[in-house]
Amino acid sequence: MRRRISTFAIVLVTLALVLGLTGMALADEPSYTEVWDGRGADSQHCEYMGQEGRPATGWIHWVFATKGDSTSAELVLGGTGSGTYAPGEPFVAEIWHFYTPFFELEGLTATINLFGGGPGPGGGLVISDYCPGAFEMLEVTKTAETSFTRIHAWDIEKRVETENGFTEDGLPKIWLWVDGSGDETATWIIDVDYTGFADSDFAVSGTVTISNTGSLDAVITGIEDLLAGEVISLDCGVEFPYTLAVGGVLECSYSEEGYFEGLNEVTVTTERDTYSADAEIIWGDPEIESFASVNVSDISGDFGSQDLGTLDAPDDGGFATFTFTYTWEFRWEDFGRENCGDFLYDNEARIIETEDSAEASLKVNVQCMVFQGETAWAANGNVPLQLRYTPRGNWATYVQYAAKTTTLFAGQHIAVGTVTFSPVEDGMVTITINLTGDWEFADVAENVKVQDYASAPSGNPSPGLFAHKMTATGSPAVIVVPANNFYGVHVNVGQWMPDPNFGP
């Protein structure tokens, strides 16, 4: 606590007391000496202000009981106090009274010297009452709050790798053969790089709080605020000089953009004194932080979308790479004959928050099956080429009727199925064609043609002119024709074969 006492007043009081203006003469050596032991330090009574010896500037009223037979006395102060003081009114009482200016009690020492005799019984040196008096005292505090924005930076790359390493136009490529020899697994790799952060929008703001904790109104003549050595403006809402009443509080605010280091110092000047406070500028965590955590996903119309994971920026802000992988197995049987051809698989990896993305493409070629057509003729039995329309050139064969089952040959010697002739019923014969193995009816109109003959045919046949026709879509195929002695049965068949032109 700070106390301001008029030096001029202290000098006058001290001179008056020391010079003995009370009219008392002191002997050369004291007859008794006693040191104050601290009693009465809790006897503050400012309500006595204005009474005898108790000025508004503050006082300490000392008493020594009893005088005993001493004829004069003096009080010597030390420590936080100073001066030698003569007794004051009343002189006729049995107690020596001393009135001194106020000094801080903590650290104050006092000694009373008696002259002309010793003290009476009881009593001793004690403070009867005191008051610090009216004084100016301001308590100044300030804050320095920092804020800034931090934006974290990320990058993303994506690629796809295959086991065989085929490429086309710079893109990885997979070849899927019908026999499964090209089946393989593709691996997608996504690298997400953390590349650091950038800070911006630095600002320092705060308040200066001035509280009048003294007993005098304080006239503030000005306030200077230094932010890292630079004078800045304060908004106090008042004009200076400004009188801050006892117990009053004045609060000022400031806000400055920019990066500062060091201290924020404020000095408050009054008509009587100066007061100061400071706050250290500390840059802590950002007020606004973007992309400290990001989510990575993979988006593909072919494989679906999947969340790859959440990434946090490294605590030290250093460069870091995070890698995600996933695989997909490609097999010819998953496509099949109906879905052969060339495919391009595009998919995209994305950082959701930053909207950064990277794409990777994979080409997949799926071997197709081509239909290899053949002309087939029913044999007379199970041996090819027994009954031929003509012995030279055309190898077409015919059947001599009997209720029997014969072999259907393609390409002269390739057995592709059976042809069964039923007994005659109501003048009609039912012919049933069964294909075997992977042989199929050709996908053409009127792929089954039958001609009946009364006598053995000769010459090159013309199946397009056969009398009985049907379009078979699956085995067995059944056709009913008139009963006769001979039959020519022509069938368009074929097999699905892997495309021989497929491959890199």
Among 347, 350, 346, 355, smallest CA distance to 297 is for 350
Cα separation of 352 and 297, whole Å?
7
Pull the structure tokens for residue 267: 């000095």
pLDDT the model gives residue 212: 96
Pull the structure tokens for residue 487: 């039959």
Query: Omega into 90 within 30° of 0, i.e. cis?
Result: yes
Cα separation of 261 and 97, whole Å?
59
Judge contact between 492 and 447, C-beta under 8 A: yes
Query: Beta strands of 178-273 (E only): which ranges?
Result: 184-212, 218-227, 230-232, 242-244, 249-257, 263-270
Domain residue limits, the chain: 7-131, 150-197+292-368, 199-280, 372-498
Q: Is the dihedral of CA 221, 223, 229, 234 positive or negative?
A: negative
pLDDT the model gives residue 14: 39
Q: What are phi and psi of 13, to 5 degrees?
A: -65, -45
- Report the CATH number of the 199-280 domain: 2.60.40.10
End-to-end CA distance of the chain: 95
Cα separation of 483 and 486, whole Å?
9
pLDDT the model gives residue 441: 97
pLDDT the model gives residue 18: 37
pLDDT the model gives residue 5: 38
pLDDT the model gives residue 302: 72
pLDDT the model gives residue 285: 93
Same topology for domains 150-197+292-368 and 199-280, yes or no? yes
Cα separation of 282 and 307, whole Å?
39
Q: Per-residue pLDDT tens, the chain, 504 aa: give them.
A: 333 333 333 333 333 333 333 334 455 799 999 999 999 999 999 889 889 999 988 999 999 988 999 999 999 999 999 999 999 988 888 899 999 999 999 999 999 999 999 998 887 999 999 999 888 899 999 999 999 999 999 999 999 999 888 888 888 999 999 999 999 999 999 999 999 999 999 999 999 999 999 888 999 999 999 999 999 999 999 999 999 999 999 999 999 999 999 999 999 999 999 999 999 999 999 999 999 999 999 987 677 788 899 999 998 889 999 999 988 999 999 999 899 999 999 989 999 999 999 999 999 999 999 999 999 999 999 999 999 999 988 999 999 999 999 999 999 999 999 999 999 999 999 999 999 999 999 999 999 999 999 999 999 999 999 999 999 999 999 999 999 999 999 999 999 999 999 988
Give me the amino acid identity at 233.
S
Q: Where are the alpha helices (DSSP H) in 25-176?
A: none
Q: Which residues pair with 293 in a beta bridge?
A: 312
pTM for the whole structure: 0.60
Cα separation of 302 and 221, whole Å?
77
Q: Is the dihedral of CA 111, 112, 115, 120 positive or negative?
A: negative
Which DSSP helix (H) or strand (E) runs through 298?
Answer: strand 293-299
- Report the CATH number of the 150-197+292-368 domain: 2.60.40.10
pLDDT the model gives residue 93: 83
Give me the amino acid identity at 500.
P
